[in-house]
Structure 1
């Protein structure tokens, strides 16, 4: 099913043509961007803050090399896999376009040796920098951010999208104001889990933030993102991720940070419910928005606004899928 989405929504994003005209078009697009500074990256490429010269707008330009990555998961172990992963990321970004707390796709295009994705720039930087600089948040501020993140993840899950890499470095502050909202970014390893399809199986993501079922080979789905949310909220409140310990050869999660004991019972319940080891009993993102801790710290009007944002975004996405004659009812292209 995701292959169909990729084939349809990649139109206008550089195409599959290797003609001289297509290459010239890609070069012209690349020259539209004036680099300012590198703001992120990894083994496969970089993210740069750039000025889009035709509009004067500052954007985040993600560039991915068309080469295999040594020691990478299957998706990046060949040049063809890198291209497929890029196409998948573009397709998913197209599906979620318009949600204010999810990375906003502006355009994507292909060069001879590099693949590009232009995204809305989140000027406030990574959320973890705020925590490192200011220390853990008070419960009210943490609850507001948690509600926004859970709402964004609930939106993704309503579309069958599993992010698979929710962690502090992939949550950006939208601007530099004290009360800035957040944006969930980096859909490079996200996938679509169709209704009735087999669970995902690739062991992928950041181990410290990943659900145990990913690494235990059980197969997994949207609940794995909720475990990652629990790790993020724990970090917002204590300044550290939960730790794994080995007890009689069985891995257990330790919630023993010194600040943990100072938290309210509602905050502990919220985090613990997201960090349940069983995906079956783990709290969902939708359920998290109804939790007592959220209701205690986030005004009802704000929760209503978040729900309305999701309703409108889901309607937009459904219209997009319908326009492209897509249905979330077939297995994903890869797991």
Structure 2
């Protein structure tokens, strides 16, 4: 019946539909039912246990409806092709820096006489987002928003920043480079691994390959707060656009305001100095991921440089 539905749409009839896959492959019992866990840039994310391997996965759904695509002056097929193209960019990133793509499939149905396609994307389930992690750090160290963290908190933030930079540097060093275009704490996930890493970059819905320096991209793409000036105002931008988004993320990760008074804390003097270059309005003045990693000794605290006090809650540089 589903195949006949798409047969009525000449530009979609070649698509392969698996309407029953969620029902057949994932546990719908009362204890292990599919649960909503969050919202991504283009769809909702659910947690579900696979019936065969009994592992829990994150399932992202991207809904493409006839009415919604008309508002952006595109066809259902054009939006579907864009979704799959961006999905392919992510799926080939078989690396520990990113949430791992496992599978995807398509569902087609009519809702209120409207054709609706739903793309399901199965990926590894992580513990929580960096946004959640930042909130947990503030609570643990009893710090309000935009108040410097103690030394242990700074150490934790600097460790996480290194992993974020390593993941983005991997994207930027590919041939051709990939621009993520939606870096923010909500799209950075936390999960431990056998390799000692915690950061998993996610949500590649806006990711694009940067084939050449003269290449233009979609203007004003991303989440408003994290959009660099060149993306907001122009279609000409490159990998340095991601560095601006990292800079805004650094403000939140290290818990300080962009234009805070100059700190007396030596560590925060270093990270705020770095941050000023990351959020520079001119892309050419921002450091690359590779350059920022090369200067990590200027802003990162190694674990051996801190020691517990007697009560075990505060640390000091030694």
Q: Same fold (TM over 0.5)?
A: yes
> Size of the alignment, in residue pairs?
264
The match for 1:210 is: 227
The reply on whether 1:129 has 2:132 as its aligned counterpart is yes
Distance (whole Å) between structure 2 residues aligned to residue 228 and residue 139 of structure 1: 20
CA contact (8 A) 1:162 1:192 kept: yes
Q: Tell me by how many angstroms 1:67 deviates.
A: 1.3
- Given candidates 158, 161, 171, the residue that maps to 2:173 is 158
User: Could you give the per-residue CA deviations for residues 83-129 of structure 1, whole angstroms, max 9, x where no partner exists?
Assistant: 123202221122212x112121001111113111100111x211111
Alignment of 1:219-234 (within 5 A): 219-234=236-251
Residue 169 of structure 1: aligned partner: 186
The alpha carbon displacement at 1:272 in A equals: 1.6
Query: In structure 1, what is the Cα distance between the partners aligned to 2:300 and 2:213?
Result: 36
The one of 103, 106, 129 aligned to 1:110: 106
CA distance in 1, matches of 2:162, 2:70: 34
Any stretches of 5+ residues in structure 2 without a counterpart? 1-11, 28-32, 109-116, 139-147, 305-318
Task: Report if aligned partners of 1:32, 1:53 keep a CA contact under 8 Å in 2.
Answer: yes
1:150 deviates by: 0.4
CA distance in 1, matches of 2:168, 2:25: 33
Q: What's the offset of the Cα at 1:203?
A: 1.5
Distance in 2 separating the partners of 1:72 and 1:297: 51
In structure 2, the CA distance between the partners of 1:206 and 1:101, relative to structure 1 (3 Å rule), is same
RMSD of aligned residue pairs (Cα, Å): 3.1
Correspondence for 1:67: 65
Match of 1:56 in 2: 54
Cα shift readout 1:2-30 (whole Å, capped 9, x = no counterpart): xxxxxxxxxxxxxx7658xx43x452355
**1: CA distance, partners of 2:96 / 2:75:** 34
Following TM superposition, where does structure 1 have runs of at least 4 consecutive aligned residues deviating by more than 4 angstroms?
16-19, 68-74, 258-263, 292-296
C-alpha displacement of 1:295: 6.6
CA apart distance, 1:297: 2.1
CA contact (8 A) 2:227 2:245 kept: yes
Query: Partners of 1:271 and 1:278 in 2: how far apart?
Result: 14
* Structure 1, gaps ≥5 residues long: 1-15, 243-254, 301-335
Using a 3 Å threshold, how does the CA distance of structure 1 residues 30 and 203 change in structure 2: closer, same or farther?
farther
Deviations 1:146-195 (A, max 9, x none): 1100000000111211111000100111149xx87111100011111113
Q: Which has the higher contact order (CA 8 A, sep 6+)?
A: 1
Seen in structure 2, the aligned counterparts of structure 1 residues 239 and 69 have a Cα distance that, compared at 3 Å, is farther
Q: What secondary structure is seen at the aligned counterpart in 2 of 1:38?
A: strand
Larger Rg: 1 or 2? Answer: 2
> For the residues of structure 2 that align with 1:84 and 1:116, how far apart are their CA atoms?
14
Shift of 1:79: 2.0
**Aligned residue among 54, 78, 81 for 2:78:** 81
Write out aligned runs for 1:253-332 (5 A). Answer: 255-256=259-260, 262=265, 263-293=267-297, 296-298=300-302
